[in-house]
Amino acid sequence: MLNRLSLYDTKSRQNLEVQDEDGLVKIYCCGPTVYRPAHVGNLRTFLLADLIKKTLELNGLAVKLVQNITDVGHMTEDVEEEDKILSQSALEKVDPFSLARKYELIFHNDLALLNIAKADLYPRASESIALMHELIAELLKKNHAYIGSDGCVYFDAKSFPNYGQVSGNRLDALKPGHRYEYTEGGAKRFHADWALWKIATHRTEMIWDSPWGSGFPGWHIECSAMSLEYLGKRIDVHVGGIDLRFPHHENERAQSDAITGTDTVLLWSHGEHLLFEGRKMSKSANNVLLLSEVIEGGYDPLSIRLAFLENRYRMQMDLTWSAISAAHTTLKRWRALVNPYRNISVANNAEVLETINKDLDTPRLISLLRSAEKDMSRTSEEKAALFLYADKVLGLDLGRQEIIKPLPNDVAETLKQREIARREKNWEESDRLRKILESNGLIIKDTAATQEWEWR
């Protein structure tokens, strides 16, 4: 194939062509820890997996995508580390499994609202315990793991000489006492070793029997167990947020490669951080935006998708309300252009394919559409065909007919009052009423003859 998708590989620090086996590309994407709704920064990472999948499909390849659900073993990074699911379930006073199922459902709903295609499989960590036991037993047998003085099973980082190649962290440069070092006292042989199986001690919920005693799995072993089980010993693309690069992906790589004896993952793809209104998006900084808040603000959830696509996935991006609002308006304009032609047959477009194949250059693709939109030499039908083809990757529902929400009676009445105020040149009253209309979600445009309105 002349033209195929290349992606930036974090490990080799260069663009690599995505490989396939007999036309099938196998992708693993680290999924959510389901103890709260994913914020839109998390959703940007899940969108990355979707863009890769849709682009490969546009290239005629088949994709198998597996995304795990972490519902046990992901610990907080505080001194007193705690399972994120268990601490939230204590706060919400619900059973930890019900809590996990609740946020898992919200996760799936959010993906659907963003037109993120379903993965082929969403294995849950809590239902993959036996797989993890098999892996841990094998790592012990191969001397890549040992039982610490506290009875927990640890991975022996020094037994994997290639450790650190994804993040550029070298074992001998890792100082003890950083946040990668869980608080296991002196039970580990080396500070960068990590737990594969933790002994329950005082914990009574979300624990399982094991050959090493009752306990629960470490977070990193989950992803090795699920990716190897459902995708096999070769994974063409591994996707995740940049914050998972270390230690999560380093540890996952060490575990998986120690089992397979080879470079299991051919390409490591990472999505960059998202800022919101200029600040890091994080719960602790109290600067988190949820998709539900975007919808409550009166915006099409796909305006978030468009706002993301206007930025390269591996560039840090600052999301703002004004960018969301602008994307919302663009979507409406594009749908008005495309909708009358939504059933035309759409030919392949080499320029679109080439653009997206170059490390998912969505900003260039969007600007291509913007210039086509303004191009007087093209017919509307030609423009619509281009937009519809690009939409196979962009996923913005450009063929959709905008359903205009009817005006509630009181808002219609306010519009009428404002029309009268304008006719009477009562500008003060007209401005007052305008503010009321805007707070009801309307955009008002005054012309010499009349006032026009649309929903925001």
- Footprint on this chain of Zn ion (rule: CB under 5 A): 30, 223
Q: Which is nearer to Zn ion, 251 or 355 (CB)?
A: 251
Tell me whether residue 258 or residue 353 sits nearer to Zn ion (CB atom): 258
Non-local CB neighbours of 395 within 8 Å, separated by 6+ positions:
50, 54, 114, 115, 116, 302, 305
Residue bearing tokens 């404002």? 418
Maximal CA-CA distance, the chain: 88
In terms of C-beta density within 10 A (0-12 exposed, 13-18 middle, 19 or more buried), how is residue 418 classed?
buried
Type of residue found at 285:
A
Q: Order of strands, edge to edge, in the sheet holding 268-271?
A: 62-67, 24-29, 237-241, 268-271
Q: How many CB atoms are closer than 10 A to CB 238?
A: 30
Shortest Cβ distance from residue 266 to Zn ion (Å)? 17
Q: Pick the closer one to Zn ion by CB: 270 or 305.
A: 270
Nearest distance from C-beta of residue 223 to Zn ion, angstroms: 3
Shortest spacing between CB 435 and Zn ion, in angstroms? 48
**Based on CB atoms, which residue is closest to Zn ion, 164 or 241?**
241
73 or 148, CB closer to Zn ion? 73
- Residue 286's contacts (CB-CB under 8 Å, 6 or more residues apart) are none
Q: In terms of DSSP bridges, do strands 24-29 and 62-67 run parallel, antiparallel, or are they unpaired? A: parallel
**Backbone phi, psi, residue 158, to 5°:** -70, -15
- The nearer residue to Zn ion, 253 or 335, going by C-beta atoms, is 253
- 78 in the Ramachandran plot: left (φ > 0), alpha (ψ -120 to 50) or beta? beta
Task: Name the minimum Å distance from CB 244 to Zn ion.
Answer: 6
Closest approach of Zn ion to the CB of residue 111, in Å = 17
Q: How far is the CB of 120 from Zn ion (least distance, A)?
A: 17
Closer to Zn ion at the Cβ: 30 or 302?
A: 30
The residues, any chain, with a CB within 8 Å of residue 31's CB and separated by 6 or more, are 46, 67, 68, 69, 70, 107, 122
Q: Nearest distance from residue 316's CB to Zn ion, in Å?
A: 21
Residues 6+ apart with CB under 8 A from 95: 89
Give the Cα separation of 283 and 291 in Å (integer): 15
Q: Measuring CA to CA, how many Å separate 172 from each of 11, 53, 377?
A: 19, 38, 62
Q: Which is nearer to Zn ion, 227 or 330 (CB)?
A: 227
Q: Which is nearer to Zn ion, 219 or 334 (CB)?
A: 219
Minimum distance, C-beta of residue 164 to Zn ion, in the bound complex (Å): 17
Supply the minimum distance, in Å, between the C-beta of residue 330 and Zn ion: 34
